[in-house]
């Protein structure tokens, strides 16, 4: 599983998302809006997105848009809960 996130500098939610990845052992890459790409380019790619982080997860070859930090935290909690279940 890999996590891709669009972040910005001095963003508490972005830092929270990176910390969550680190504590859960998730491998992640980030693109810093304003450094690695221009804000305008980000808005062209994701016109409905007005905030960062914007997080995507690729698992089993499928990429899913998760959303921001709160959605990512809920996703991680649900993933842990389902992985703890025996099928």
The model's pLDDT over 32-44, given as tens digits with 9 standing for 90+, comes to: 999 999 999 999 9
pTM: 0.91
pLDDT, position 86:
53
pLDDT, position 82:
86
Cα separation, 70 vs 47, in Å, equals: 20
Residue 58 — very low, low, confident or very high, per pLDDT cuts 50/70/90?
Answer: very high
């Amino acid at each position: 599983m890999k996590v891709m996130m669009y972040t910005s500098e001095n963003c508490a939610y972005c830092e929270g998302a990176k910390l969550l990845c680190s504590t859960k052992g998730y491998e992640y890459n980030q693109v810093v809006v304003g450094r690695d790409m221009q804000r305008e380019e980000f808005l062209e790619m994701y016109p409905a997105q007005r905030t960062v982080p914007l997080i995507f997860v690729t698992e089993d070859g499928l990429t899913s848009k998760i959303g921001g930090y709160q959605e990512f935290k809920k996703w991680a909690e649900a993933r842990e809960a389902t992985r703890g279940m025996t099928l």
